[in-house]
Amino acid sequence: MAMLKVIEVLAESKKSWDDAAQVAVSNAAKSVRKIKSINIVNMQATVNAKGKIDNYRINAKITFELE
């Protein structure tokens, strides 16, 4: 039976929420192996003075298998 662990991460992107999720996984993969899934808990965005979105932000839980 595999033992799994969950970490909570924050990530942001100037492109999209999808890209922010990929940033979260890519950065987590630098120090964690065997990532199994990502669960987006919350999505936010910052808006500039012109009414355009500046940054897409996510709060996510990443699950990985322990060795």
pLDDT along the chain (67 residues), means of 10: 95 97 98 97 97 97 96
Residue 15's H or E segment, with its range, is none
Give the per-residue pLDDT at 41: 97
Q: Where are the domains of the chain?
A: 4-65
Cα 36 from Cα 22, distance rounded (Å): 13
Give the per-residue pLDDT at 48: 96
Report pTM. 0.89
Quickly name the fold that domain 4-65 has: Dodecin subunit-like (3.30.1660)
Provide the residue type at 13 as one letter. S
Give the per-residue pLDDT at 31: 96
Give the per-residue pLDDT at 10: 97
Residue 24's H or E segment, with its range, is helix 17-28
Give the per-residue pLDDT at 1: 81
Give the per-residue pLDDT at 50: 96
